[in-house]
Amino acid sequence: MSKTRNPCIFLIAFSLLFCLAPSATADVAPGDVIDTTNWQKAEGLLPDSVLNWVKKGEFILNIGELQWDPNDYWTDTCIRSMETNKGKYALDEDGMVADAKTGETPTDFVEGIPFPEVNLEDPKSAFKIMHNRTFYGYTLGNIDYPFGAIWVSRGGYDREVQAQFLQYPMAGFPGAKEEKNPKGIEQYSVVRVLSPYDIAGTNTMTWRYLDNRQDMTYAFVPAIRRVRRLSPANRSDAFIGTDMCLDDAYGYAGKISAVEWKPTKKKIALVPFLSEKPQALVQNERGEWLSTSGIKPVVYGYQKKDWQGAPWAPTNLVWVKREILILEMKPKDPYYNYGTQYLWIDAAVPFITFYKIIQDRAADYWKTVLLCSNGFDGPNKEMRFVQGPMYIAVDDRYDHATVLRALTPETLGIWFAIQNPNIYSLGGFQKLCK
């Protein structure tokens, strides 16, 4: 990785339809504390559900200002692809990445992000934005990401599951360029449940293809000690009984062509980050990059004495104003559990997602996923990227939430991890589960 970096701004051309000015009736400034007494200051800057939490006294927002610029946190691979991939790729009729000349699935290796320039007047622009967002994650290489999923009710902490996410990209990441890929895989991934004992080993593995073939998702069921294949719609089922599903990861972790996408609005919004400052990365002797035990811990309502708000509310995030783009997403599968959803993503660096607003299939509001991100720096800034230390899924219908704690002082993430690719075969997956 290079020791110096130039700011790199993702190029999006907006038509007048998306340049409407945000409401001027409300505004906030660094140092403000927004709560039930002055919630009107945030009106028009938050999703309705989040504003309602503030209005009811369930969330308190500490307004700040970032001391790091998200525009500087594109990976080197992405920065190079801003030039090398101009005009190289298009979309096929299903919304998948295609060779611009042939219209077919690329036969060469897709390195970095496929679409350096996106024009929102293009009816398929949202598909391109989502592919770029996905490939940004691939440029971080193999990932080993331990996390805890915590059930939180009105009474506070209920129970917790320890789990692990493993990623092995076959596109985007230059390290995969020389690997054989006869199946045309875009990404392998595994989610493992490690504890408690009664559900440990309830694992899932996904093979995602470069073309429009459906995901192949397999689940190991400890009770029968067998692997069974899941339908794509099963990715919208509650993950081990939490308020989240597999596709809620990163805002949306499903196949992009499985959804109809369109941009709806560009505006200024209040969005959560872990800290005003970037968090530290260290490199080990294997060349892997890790988060550290010095990462800022998130404090939740149930952990704070005399807290009067929602037990699942994060109490020490920093909320800043950013220009965001709202994407509408409608699942094509009639058996998918969610109806229309709305992703609130950063307009300048759209690999950062802040909110996912979920309706049921009857078009009634159901729940909100709040995603907190932050910049991470190597010692000499030779490695930089943005990742999400925490998600919260709040089911307003059932008055319950799940907190997903991914990067904490106790659980360290690993990027560019050294992994054995054999674990992503059926045989290797079965061994991993036993």
Q: Which sequence spans correspond to the domains of the chain?
A: 138-433
Cα 394 to Cα 153, 351, 369, distances in angstroms: 10, 22, 6
Q: Considering the domain delimited by 138-433, tell me its CATH architecture.
A: Clam (2.50)
CA distance 188 to 292: 26
What's the predicted TM-score (pTM) here? 0.94
pLDDT tens-digit series, residues 199-232:
998 999 999 999 999 999 999 988 778 899 999 8
Q: Tell whether the model's pLDDT for residue 119 goes beyond 70.
A: yes
Torsion of CA 176, 178, 180, 181, to 10 degrees: 50
Asked if pLDDT for residue 84 goes beyond 80, the answer is yes
Residue 1: predicted pLDDT = 43
Residues counted in the chain: 434
pLDDT for 25 equals 54
pLDDT at 433 over 90: no
d(CA 254, CA 193): 20
Q: Which residue has the tokens 């990404």?
A: 187
